[in-house]
Amino acid sequence: MRQIREVLRLKWECGLSDRKTGQSLNLSRPAVAEYAKRAHAAGLTWPLPATLDDAALETLLFPLAPVTCGSHPPPDYAVIHRELARKGVTLMLLWEEYKERHPEGYQYSQFCAHYRAYAQGLDLPMRQVHRAGEKCFVDYAGQTIAVCDRTTGELRPAQIFIAVLGASNYTYCEATWSQRLPDWVGSHVRALAYFKAVPQLLVPDNLRSGVSEAHRYEPIVNETYAEMAAHYGTAILPARPRRPRDKAKVEVGVQVVERWILARLRHRTFFSLTELNETIAGLLTRLNDRAFRKLPGSRRERFESLDRPMMKPLPAVPYVFAEWKRARVHIDYHIEVARHYYSVPYRFVGRQVEVRLTANTVEAFHRGGRIASHARSRVPGGHTTVPEHMPRAHREYAAWTPARLIEWAGKTGPATARLVERIMESRAHPQQGFRSCLGILRLEKRYGSSRLEAACMRSLELGATSYRSLESILRRGLDSAALPGRPDPAPIIAHGNVRGPKYYQ
């Protein structure tokens, strides 16, 4: 309309020709002539009346032709609006069905024009076309409700989670203590259980619990949130940053909940989250059963007829909350999770793994494959180790105990067993002597059991209870030598006058 005003100004006030006016405004000459012709026919002169705004000027120059529809009634636009929410239904299909019933009715262009005029009279969110069972919009209300501690009287704010289905406006809401990841995912699980079905898409705001990194084109969804969506067979489509119209449905849903539920609770005092949610559930039922003002039916009726038939069934079991973390495998083939250490196969030492943490289990994944699974432990600083995750040498070492080492040494001889026991007793922890004891027992392969037993006996008599001392005795052949300061034992004399041991029996 601004351009038409400029056309009339240049022609009537400045006296330019149609061609020069068109060149000035980048219009064709016939278009300039058409605008001037319509203005003359409408009886306009320059300057235009001050009261003639753009809308009035458009109506005056381009009036809508009266439409006749014979004796047939006009279409039921409320039904058309509802049918458009069904998957695959278009205005062309509805017009063809209308023409089959009323051959003398509106043509397609007028059919669409009248429907759009009807749709403009609805509320803004209702003008958007949402396919049945397609989208569920989720967000938190800006308003909170205080819950009072019976003992201290302290008031703690509770957050209000809201989920709204696109086609039917069917609404779910509940109170949680926070907007953190466990509450965020838990609210989704309970919302889908309330719907008893799963939509094709979840449309969240860019809340940190749901979207790790907001982006206009490629947002990064939190791993736990994505795992929950995969469990239910749905997808996540975050709203674009700073684009509230992408989630206008839930914005209006938040407004409805604040006015219809939270406002009614402003004078109530609640002493537990359970009590608050029970009250909200009662008001939520009334809200979903309440009739629309501008559309036929209620939220529940539209949900049963539109959304629910097109939604997916719930899985057999609900999603169990699991938190995902990243951890690097230490040199001792353990990862640290919540101040506890869990083993993974030793070949992954130095690599980064993904950890799935639930209330009862800890699972480690590498490149999408699970490499370890443990029962969750609450012992800080403790270790949970699976023997199969250890190298073979470590498994053999871990299998040794003080009693087992002494028993093995006793097969060589009592002196060997006493030496092994003496070495472990000399350490603050027996395990600190395992390496020395294993080294002593391996000396049998090189020197034989007889020499090892003799060397252990010599080592005990000298008080040299160490692997180095024992190995030195064997290497230098001292196991058969007399101890320093002691004479060699007298040789046995064979003589006829020497009485033997049987003489005294």
| pLDDT tens digits, one per residue of 95-141 | 888 888 888 888 888 888 888 888 876 654 444 567 888 889 988 88
Q: Under a CB-based contact definition with an 8 Å cutoff, are residues 211 and 220 in contact?
A: yes
Selection from 324, 330, 333 nearest residue 365 by Cα: 324
Strand partners, 157: 146
Q: Does residue 412 surpass a pLDDT of 80?
A: yes
CA–CA separation, 142 vs 191, rounded Å?
19
Residue type, 205: D
| pLDDT tens digits, one per residue of 333-362 | 899 988 899 999 989 988 999 998 888 889
Mean pLDDT over all residues of the chain?
A: 82
> In the block, which residue shows the tokens 């995902």?
324
CA–CA separation, 202 vs 238, rounded Å?
8
Q: What is the pTM of this model?
A: 0.51
Q: How far is CA 139 from CA 38, 177, 187, 204, 243, in A?
A: 52, 15, 10, 6, 14
Burial environment of residue 249 by CB neighbours within 10 A (0 to 12, 13 to 18, 19 or more): buried
CA–CA separation, 20 vs 22, rounded Å?
5
Q: Return the domain boundaries, the chain.
A: 2-61, 77-121, 135-310, 323-391, 400-480
| pLDDT tens digits, one per residue of 225-246 | 888 888 999 888 887 655 555 5
User: Alpha-carbon torsion 408, 414, 420, 426, what sign?
Assistant: positive
Q: Specify the CATH class of 135-310 in words.
A: alpha beta
Would you state the structure tokens that stand for residue 371, as one six-digit string?
A: 């490499």
Please measure the distance between the N-terminal and C-terminal CA atoms of the chain and give it in whole angstroms.
Answer: 143
Q: What's residue 212's pLDDT? A: 55
Would you state the structure tokens that stand for residue 135, as one six-digit string?
A: 């989208």
- Confidence label for 67 from pLDDT (cuts 50, 70 and 90): very low
Measured CA angle at 202 (ends 200, 206), to 5 deg:
155
Q: How far is CA 449 from CA 288, 361, 403, 405, in A?
A: 88, 49, 20, 16
Backbone dihedral region for residue 57 (phi beyond 0: left; psi -120 to 50: alpha; all else: beta): alpha
Please spell the DSSP secondary structure of 358-423, one letter per residue: -SSEEEEEETTEEEEEEE----TT-EE--GGGS-HHHHHHHH--HHHHHHHHHTT-HHHHHHHHHH
